[in-house]
A and B are shown apart, each in its own frame.
Chain A
Amino acid sequence: KCLQSRIMDYFSRE
């Protein structure tokens, strides 16, 4: 089963 990751899992807030 595949789960959708989110952009925030990779890039952090500036």
Chain B
Amino acid sequence: MLELRLVQGSLLKKVIESLKDLVNDANFDCSSTGFSLQAMDSSHVALMSLLLRSDGFEHYRCDHGNFPMGMKLENLSKILKCAGNDDIITIKADGPGNDTVTFMFESPSQEKIADYEMKLMDIDSEHLGIPEAEFHAIVRMPSSEFARICKDLSSIGDTVVISVTKEGIKFSTKGDIGTANVVCRQNTTVDKPEDATIIEMQQPVSLTFALRYMNSFTKATPLSNTVTISLSSDLPVVVEYKIAEMGYIRFYLAPKIEE
């Protein structure tokens, strides 16, 4: 028996919208830790890791140990679009051996209650071990600013070079029409803490990434006012959006390397 009640149902809607362009189908894992997912895009260039901690749910019951639920994200997205932004979402499943999951949407006033049953799928997914890494640079900046930069640069080029030095974080691209460089300096003298750009650098780092993936990651912008970009040479970049009081969504992107 699995029963998860999420008062802020819009969080789940936003999470799925941020994943569905990159992930076709995935196993959602339910354990005492929380509701989680790890999935790669079909090219195995990006990896997505989601955690919604159990204590962030109003009610969290998961009796069957680790219980994977395979879902096609396009179908899940269709169903979650039927939930109102203010709705409370309850996820119910009977446990291993049952091939459906039920989503119940309650309006805040309890006047409208809807349930949608969706078929589960068997998904043969590979789970990767993500080692704890020491990052050469960790940058926290407004998520809307990061989204804007990725969008702007993708009208010029296909790849972005992200460099962190003591001057700041620099995003550079080049294409047929020319080049672009955007530098964001550390800025902690802001009225609101979420508007700050904070750079923690152990050593300078510079890596090249496909902009198409970065742009997909920014679909998670509605989840958080800030984004954290963690870089190490010879490691995938980690782009993390914290999910208020509940957990995170992390996007790992393998760098482009010199031939």
Contacts and interface: CB of A to CB of B under 8 A. Distances in A.
A7 B258 contact: no
A13 B45 contact: no
B210 interface: yes
Contacts of B258: 1-3
A11 to B, nearest CB: 4
Interface string A1-14: 11111111111111
Prevailing SS type, chain A contact patch? mixed
A4 to B, nearest CB: 5
A1 B255 CA distance: 13
A14 B45 contact: no
Nearest to A2: B256
A7 B256 contact: no
B124 interface: no
Interface residues of B, number: 25
Contacts of A13: 126-129
A10 to B, nearest CB: 6
B257 A2 contact: yes
A2 to B, nearest CB: 4
B218 interface: no
B131 A2 contact: no
Contact of A5 (B127, B130, B131, B256): B256
Given A4-B45, A7-B46, A11-B131, 5 more contacts: A6-B45, A7-B45, A7-B236, A12-B129, A13-B129
29 contacts: A1-B258, A2-B256, A3-B256, A3-B258, A4-B45, A4-B256, A5-B45, A5-B254, A5-B255, A5-B256, A6-B254, A7-B40, A7-B45, A7-B128, A7-B236, A7-B252, A8-B44, A8-B128, A10-B235, A10-B236, A11-B128, A11-B129, A11-B252, A12-B129, A13-B126, A13-B127, A13-B129, A14-B127, A14-B128
Interface of B: 40, 43-47, 126-131, 159, 208, 210, 234-236, 252, 254-259
